[in-house]
Every structure is written in C-alpha cells, then in structure tokens.
C-alpha cells in the first residue's frame, strides 16, 4: 500500500517536527525558505492527505478543491488562524490543528521587549550611539515614560494577553485594565480590571493588542480609537496588522495624537522599505518575531506534526491541539 502524502509548505521547518513525519509519510516539500508561490502550492497540493502549513499560506476553497478528497488534515504552525477558511474546512470535514500554548511565553516576552523598546527608545538610542550622536550624558536625551505607576490596557485576554499581564506585574504598574467579551479568571494573577474598550482606550498609558484577527476585529482600531487615547499613549500591536486601520494609525503618529507605537505586525508583511510607517521616528517596527524563540519554534513544529500524524494514523482524538470548528 502506498504511503500517505503530506505537503510541507516551507523549507526551513524545525527538524523536531519533520522527523515525526518523515518515517511515516511521503513528504512533498517546498524546499525554499520563502513562502510557496500560489501556482506551486496549487500544483503540489493535488492528492495530498495532509498539509503542514504556516501563517503565510492562504488555505481557501481553491486550495481545498484542488487538493481533492484525500485531504484529511490541515495543521498550521501558528496560533493565528486568519489565513484558513475554517468554514470551508469544516464543510469538507477536514481536521484542523494549530499551536497555541507553546508560543505564549515567547510572544509575551517579546511584547514586553517591544513595549520597552518603544517607550524607552532602545533601538533609536543604539542607532544614535553608532552614528556618533552620543556627545555626553544628557538630562532629557532619549527619555521616555516608565512603566512604574502607569496604567496598562490589554485588549483581548487570551493566553498571550494574560501572560503579558503577569510579566508586567513586577514592573510596579499601577493598574492593569483589560477588555474582552467576558471576565477572565486569569486576570486575578495580576489584579487585572475588566473594563469596556472605551474606558481602556481613554485611561491607559500603554495599550497592548493581543486579540485574534476575525471579521469582527478587522480594523477595530481606527481614527475614533486613536482620538480617544491619551496624547501620551503608546500603542503596541503583536496580533495582526489588519486589526488596525493603518492610515489612521499613521495619521495619529504623524500628528502626535499619541506618543508612539510598537508594531510586530503590520500590513503588508513584509512592509515595503519606502512605506510611510518607516518614515516615522515614533514607531518601532519588528518583522513579526513574536514567537521567534528557538524553543517555541521547535515545539510549534512538533505540535504541527503531531496534529497531522494523529489524523493520518486514524486517531484524530489524539491531536494535541485541534481547532474546534
């Protein structure tokens, strides 16, 4: 009997996961370290039993119908699911796996790093030093607001948002507010106060967005949100660029309606080098590296592979991280 086929959409997947699949299935791999072009994806996906994909791979009707009836599982090496057409997957009875949990610590620590880089101008200061602009210790040079005694607002208190709250506590933050559909017991760990989004936006010195991208949250931060924020507010987004109406954010930064922004995600990704966002000196931009801790990426690869092998071995109930659709 011929072996089942799994399409792996990237060439530099951590070996920890690939080795789980290699001995059991025929792997069809896009061997480059850049995203698989759509035409290649459509041609390589035909007749596969499983897909190991990344957040850069759009899985829609066309991919699913081209794959055909053998396809039983799509497993994404990400916690975000916005690149997957979940309705189409559900209709076809295809199992879906993802990797929540294993990237929580990595993403939360990067969030704190990005916040500090933005508020305390860490990246600008390092560039200034290298450019010979450090003439002497100066009372006002490279100053920014501290976290102690501040109010921080976390939008969306899922796993990552809650861990960010925990990590913030030792900084002596005065209040941690959060907005989410329901009150969360996790918030007790850092005395988080459940408030409306408007209260969070008006009262916070630092606003951290950790909410998932869905049709409801797309562009939820627009002009009216930035108008509501303090002129000293710092906005941090580690979720998805599409959560933000980006021209409205650029306008708010240009006109100092808010103090600054730190973005690990933006639209598009990668951002073109002549983009307006790169011209702003009150904005820190990172290339979507929230989960880029070596251990997290290894584990993400393992979970993605195990989600696939559970289904292909006939035991979907053993998927470590199924998406319940």
The reply to whether 83 belongs to the active site is no
Q: Supply the DSSP string of 8-62, one letter for each residue.
A: E--TT--HHHHHHHHTTSEEEE--SSSPPPHHHHHHHSTT-SEEEE-TTS-B-HH
Q: Shortest distance, CB of residue 184 to ligand DGY, whole angstroms?
A: 20
304 binds ligand DGY, rule: CB under 6 A: no
291 binds ligand DGY, rule: CB under 6 A: yes
78 binds ligand DGY, rule: CB under 6 A: yes
Q: Shortest distance, CB of residue 265 to ligand DGY, whole angstroms?
A: 7
Q: Which stretch binds ligand DGY (CB under 6 A): 73-81, 116-124, 163-171, 317-325?
A: 73-81
307 binds ligand DGY, rule: CB under 6 A: no
- How many positions of this chain bind ligand DGY (CB under 6 A)? 7
- Please give the DSSP secondary-structure letter assigned to residue 89: H
Among 14, 17, 50, 80, binds ligand DGY (CB under 6 A): 80
**CB-based contacts of 305, cutoff 8 Å, min separation 6:** 17, 18, 20, 21, 52, 75
Q: Which stretch binds ligand DGY (CB under 6 A): 40-48, 74-82, 145-153, 183-191?
A: 74-82
Catalytic residue among 127, 194, 275, 288: 288
CB burial of 191-229 (b: ≥16 within 10 Å; e: otherwise) equals: ebbebebeebbebbbbbbbbbbbeeebeebbeeebbebb
Q: Please give the structure tokens belonging to residue 317.
A: 């109930």
Looking at beta carbons only, is 217 or 282 nearer to ligand DGY? 217
Strand duo 193-194 + 26-29: pairing: unpaired
Q: Shortest distance, CB of residue 79 to ligand DGY, whole angstroms?
A: 4
Write out the catalytic residue numbers.
288
């Amino acid at each position: 009997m011929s072996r089942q086929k799994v399409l792996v959409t990237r060439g530099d997947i951590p070996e920890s996961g690939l080795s789980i699949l290699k001995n059991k299935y025929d792997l069809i791999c896009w061997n480059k370290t850049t995203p698989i072009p759509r035409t290649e994806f459509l041609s390589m996906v035909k007749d596969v039993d499983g897909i190991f994909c990344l957040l850069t791979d759009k899985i829609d009707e066309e991919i699913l119908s081209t794959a055909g009836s053998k396809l039983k599982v799509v497993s994404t090496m990400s916690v975000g699911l916005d690149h997957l057409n979940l309705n189409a997957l559900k209709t076809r009875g295809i199992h879906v796996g993802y990797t929540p949990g294993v990237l929580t610590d990595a993403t939360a620590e990067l969030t704190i790093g990005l916040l500090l880089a933005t508020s305390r101008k860490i990246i600008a200061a390092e560039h200034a030093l290298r450019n010979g602009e450090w003439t002497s210790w100066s009372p006002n040079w490279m100053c920014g607001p501290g976290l102690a005694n501040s109010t921080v607002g976390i939008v969306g208190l899922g796993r990552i948002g809650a861990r960010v709250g925990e990590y913030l506590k030792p900084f002596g933050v005065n209040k941690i507010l959060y907005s989410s559909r329901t009150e969360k017991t996790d918030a007790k760990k850092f005395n988080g106060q459940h408030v409306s989004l408007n209260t969070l936006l008006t009262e916070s010195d630092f606003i951290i967005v950790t909410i998932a991208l869905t049709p409801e949250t797309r562009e939820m931060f627009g002009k009216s949100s930035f108008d509501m924020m303090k002129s000293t507010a710092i906005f941090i987004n580690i979720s998805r660029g599409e959560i933000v109406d980006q021209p409205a954010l650029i306008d708010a930064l240009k006109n100092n309606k808010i103090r600054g922004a730190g973005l690990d995600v933006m639209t598009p990704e990668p951002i073109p080098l002549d983009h307006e966002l790169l011209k702003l000196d009150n904005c820190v931009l990172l290339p979507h590296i929230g989960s880029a801790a070596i251990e997290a990426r290894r584990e993400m690869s393992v979970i993605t592979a195990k989600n696939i092998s559970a289904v292909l071995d006939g035991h979907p109930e053993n998927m470590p991280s199924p998406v319940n659709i």
